[in-house]
Amino acid sequence: MFIHITLPDGTRKQVPAGYSVRDALTATGERLDAKVLAAKVNGEPVDLSRPLNHDATIEPLTFESAEGREVYRHSSTHIMAQAVKEVFPTAQLTIGPALDEGFYYDFAFERPFTPEDLEKIEARAKEIMKRGLTVTRSELSKQDAIKFFQGRGEAYKVELIQGFDDQLPISLYSQGEFVDLCRGPHLPTTGHVGAFKLLSTGGAYWRGDERNPMLQRVYGTSFPTQKELDAHLAKLEEIKRRDHRKLGKELDLISTQDEIGPGLVLWHPKGSLIRLLIENFWREQHLKDGYELVYSPHVARLDLWKTSGHVDYYRENMFATMQIEGSEYQLKPMNCPFHIMIYKSHLRSYRDLPIRYGELGTVYRYERTGVLHGLLRVRGFTQDDAHLFCRPDQIETEVSRVLDFTFFILGTFGFTEFEVYLSTRPEKSVGSDENWTLATTALEAALKGRGVAYQVDPGEGVFYGPKIDIKIKDVLGRSWQCSTIQVDFNNPERFKLAYTGEDGKYHQPIMIHRALMGSIERFFGILIEHYAGAFPLWLAPVQVVVLTITDKQHECAARIVSELKGHGYRVEADVRNEKIGFKIREAEKNKIPYMLVVGEKEVQSGTVAVRGRSGANHGTMPIEGLLALLQTETNQVLRETATHSQTR
RNA sequence: GCUGGCGUAGCUCAAUCGGCAGAGCAGCGGUUUUGUAAACCGCAGGUUGGAGGUUCGAUUCCUCUCGCCAGCUCCA
């Protein structure tokens, strides 16, 4: 009996039934490309050794595809698990999946793995790769599989299998003495992994639940070649080099201090200046975009948060209340109730809507100590918050506006790639089906209307309404959650918000919560890493530094500084009794965009020698030339701003 | 919060077995007047995160506590 197979290029072949994928691919004498790791048969990833019994389309998988990499890393983690079992026979297997850039495996073991253990495991894993063991798949009934793993003392595997469907066979993969429960597929042999490295260890709860026992997780990664592995390791180094905690300290931008408390940030003058520039830009653009800016207090009566529902839904993340003159007050975890109260301060007409209140509002949230992280996760932070009050029929337009505005604001900071998620109704939620459908449809329509590609996150919405989350991609390709746009019908109800309609009757407005940068602290942390501390000219705390060769140029330097200051630039002069190399080194370390070297020659000719950050030589020019250079660079931001305003 | 690791000068790091706490950079004082990423000499800088304990003696060992780091969980 013969079957027909179809390849991605449209080629069709006839091969005997029972041929393996590999045989089918090479049936007409072709050589199997060494890069082929596994294959997708009728869309399902399978081993190359899988027998084919029916007509099928076959798509070979290589490391180039995400699915191919997953197979590769999955086999890599099996190799690591085998190494662990060989070196530490008492370790029990649990689970070990592939990740986007590597893999991990969780083991139940009596103690944490040490760096020395890691070396031993890695050495053994490499030896297993050299052995080139054939990886074979087998199937057992659920009962037999349980017996098999019980016999091997793998209690966690037994527990996993017990949760599986009784009817379906359980697949196992073995290589040498090592056998693991696994869906597969896998590489043909352990020799197919080229370059392999273990990276770190850490604790992880069994099934991710903190009530369960702590397992020992080992992270690693693998690539076909050492060169690719080295490139990946270099990227990890680059991430370390850009760490905002390190750069924030080195550049004297921010600090956190024990005496003040964890997750509470001090903004030093240079960090504050950058923040001021960001905030000024933010305010200007919001005013242009039809927002009204407001301020609200940092504490308020607890009753306010009872009304808003935060006491019921958010208490775990709130600081403790304080007793003032017999009533309870609460440090604010959110800005929305205040904006609502401004809305409520007088009657609103349908003609007033939409109303857009924006605030750089500082909130305080109690976060568990273990989650705090530099600027990215803190306990006191400022949200670039806004609340839009609108009629149901205005949701779509408002969301469209916000989308445009978001991409514009984030684009100004050099973020041009985004991941957009639409989160729909979760199980625990309030509100009518009509409202949920209305809001979700409006969000979807807005996304489609702006031509934004998005993914749906089912059930990931907030309890009070659906939302759009926007993640930005930084220069290293990492994604960061910043922007969120959330529809809310709960708070208008809780606070009894109303507007007078055309019909003279009261109607309930819809609220939209939105933040673009999310939190200024977090956004700043991301910016530091995105720019590696080398802020663009318009954000650099010091834009230009004048470096004198000898003290004969002091006067000239002072003149240049005052002239540039007159044009609004942030300039300093370094007239210390130091060699020019020393001054340049320091300016480089401070990542100052432009250095003006002024010596006898420049004084004579009335010019400056312009050196850009990282050594760029712009040559010698008169001050006017420099001003033109600076202006061109800052104007770029302004021009884009103007373009956005025109489209409004 | 949980598991593990780590807290020494402003910063980066030393200190053998429990035996006088040290270096580089930064700072300050001098010398040097210098041409594109570190001139030279000197001075000063510390209750070794905090509290308790063991010991003749603790940076070192033990207990507690605060903070940081990695991971888990959670999230702007």
Provide the ipTM: 0.93
3-state secondary structure A346-409: CCCEHHHCCEEEEEEEEEECCCCHHHCECCCECCEEEEEEEEEEECHHHHHHHHHHHHHHHHHH
Neighbours of A54 (CB within 10 A): 10
Residues 193-212 of A with CB under 7 A from strand B: 200, 202-205, 208-210
The answer to whether A387 is a known catalytic residue is yes
Q: Beginning with the edge strand found earlier in the chain, give each strand of the sheet holding A418-423 in spatial order.
A: A292-293, A355-364, A380-390, A510-519, A479-488, A467-473, A418-423, A455-457
Q: Specify whether the CB–CB gap between A464 and A488 falls below 8 A.
A: yes
The answer to whether A530 is a known catalytic residue is no
Give the residue-averaged pLDDT of A478-505.
94
Q: Specify whether the CB–CB gap between A91 and A124 falls below 8 A.
A: no
| pLDDT class of A463 with cuts at 50, 70, 90 | confident
Give the residue-averaged pLDDT of A208-235.
91
The answer to whether A644 is a known catalytic residue is no
| pLDDT class of A33 with cuts at 50, 70, 90 | confident
Q: Specify whether the CB–CB gap between A412 and A300 falls below 8 A.
A: no
| pLDDT class of A184 with cuts at 50, 70, 90 | confident
Nucleotide nearest to A596 (CA to C1'): B36
Q: Specify whether the CB–CB gap between A431 and A486 falls below 8 A.
A: no
| pLDDT class of A644 with cuts at 50, 70, 90 | low
Residue A426: asked if its preceding bond is cis (omega within 30°), the reply is: no
pLDDT of residue A313: 85
pLDDT at A427 over 90: no
Structure tokens at A497: 């918000």
Residue A460: what are its φ and ψ, rounded to 5°? -100, 5
- Angle between helix axes A142-151 and A155-162 (nearest 10 degrees) is 170
Three-state secondary structure call for residue A555: helix
Q: Give the C-alpha separation, A643 to A157, whole Å.
A: 60
Q: pTM for the whole thing? A: 0.92
What's A222's DSSP letter?
E
Taking every pair of Cα atoms in chain A, the longest distance, rounded to a whole number of angstroms, is 96
pLDDT of residue A476: 86
pLDDT of residue A164: 87
| CB of A459 lies under 7 Å from some atom of strand B | no
Give the pLDDT confidence of A47-101 residue by residue, as tens digits: 998 988 888 898 999 999 999 999 999 999 999 999 999 999 999 999 999 998 9
Query: Mean of the per-residue pLDDT values for chain A?
Result: 92
Structure tokens at A490: 């709960």
pLDDT of residue A641: 65
Residue A488: what are its φ and ψ, rounded to 5°? -135, 115
pLDDT at A30 over 80: no
Give the pLDDT confidence of A300-325 residue by residue, as tens digits: 999 999 999 899 888 889 999 999 99
pLDDT of residue A627: 96
DSSP assignment string, A159-184? HHHHTS-SSSPEEEEEETTEEEE---
Give the residue-averaged pLDDT of A457-476.
90
pLDDT at A598 over 60: yes
Structure tokens at A424: 């729909």
The answer to whether A310 is a known catalytic residue is no
pLDDT of residue A35: 86
Structure tokens at A514: 């939105």
B72 C1': nearest CA residue = A204
Three-state secondary structure call for residue A197: strand
| pLDDT class of A357 with cuts at 50, 70, 90 | very high
Give the pLDDT confidence of A283-306 residue by residue, as tens digits: 999 999 999 999 999 999 999 999
| pLDDT class of A642 with cuts at 50, 70, 90 | low
The answer to whether A486 is a known catalytic residue is no
Nucleotide nearest to A111 (CA to C1'): B4
Give the residue-averaged pLDDT of A475-480.
88
pLDDT of residue A163: 87
How many Å apart are A220 CA and B68 C1'?
A: 25
Q: Give the C-alpha separation, A299 to A297, whole Å.
A: 6
What's A308's DSSP letter?
H
pLDDT of residue A341: 97
Q: Give the C-alpha separation, A387 to A344, whole Å.
A: 13
pLDDT of residue A29: 75
Q: Give the C-alpha separation, A450 to A166, whole Å.
A: 48
The answer to whether A513 is a known catalytic residue is yes
- Among residues A69, A216, A286, A336, the one annotated as catalytic is A336
Q: Give the C-alpha separation, A263 to A381, whole Å.
A: 9
pLDDT of residue A7: 87
The answer to whether A312 is a known catalytic residue is no
| CB of A369 lies under 7 Å from some atom of strand B | yes
Three-state secondary structure call for residue A321: coil
Residue A224: what are its φ and ψ, rounded to 5°? -60, -35
Strands A92-93 and A102-108: antiparallel
| pLDDT class of A646 with cuts at 50, 70, 90 | low
Give the pLDDT confidence of A325-344 residue by residue, as tens digits: 999 999 999 999 999 999 99
pLDDT of residue A15: 86
pLDDT at A648 over 60: no
Q: What b/e readout covers A502-533, taking b as 16+ CB neighbours within 10 angstroms?
A: eeeeebbbbbbbbbbbbbbbbbbbbbbbbbbb
B38 C1': nearest CA residue = A582
- Among residues A82, A92, A285, A383, the one annotated as catalytic is A383
B3 C1': nearest CA residue = A203
Nearest to A217 by CA among A97, A376, A53: A97
pLDDT at A647 over 60: no
How many Å apart are A569 CA and B25 C1'?
A: 31
pLDDT of residue A323: 92
Give the pLDDT confidence of A103-126 residue by residue, as tens digits: 999 999 988 888 888 889 999 999
| pLDDT class of A486 with cuts at 50, 70, 90 | very high
| CB of A268 lies under 7 Å from some atom of strand B | no
| CB of A372 lies under 7 Å from some atom of strand B | yes
DSSP assignment string, A239-299? HHHT-HHHHHHHTT-EE--TTT-TT--EE-HHHHHHHHHHHHHHHHHHHHTT-EE----SE
Residues 302-361 of A with CB under 7 A from strand B: none
Burial degree of A634 (CB within 10 A; 0-12, 13-18, 19+): middle
pLDDT of residue A477: 86
| CB of A552 lies under 7 Å from some atom of strand B | yes
Structure tokens at A635: 């104007």
Q: Specify whether the CB–CB gap between A594 and A571 falls below 8 A.
A: no
Q: Specify whether the CB–CB gap between A205 and A230 falls below 8 A.
A: no
Q: Which helix (H) or strand (E) holds A412?
A: helix A395-412
pLDDT at A167 over 90: no
Q: Which nucleotides of B are covered by protein (CB under 7 A)?
A: 1-5, 7, 11-12, 31-39, 66-76
| CB of A381 lies under 7 Å from some atom of strand B | yes
Q: Give the C-alpha separation, A414 to A362, whole Å.
A: 25
Q: Which residue has the higher pLDDT, A637 or A278?
A: A278
pLDDT of residue A22: 87
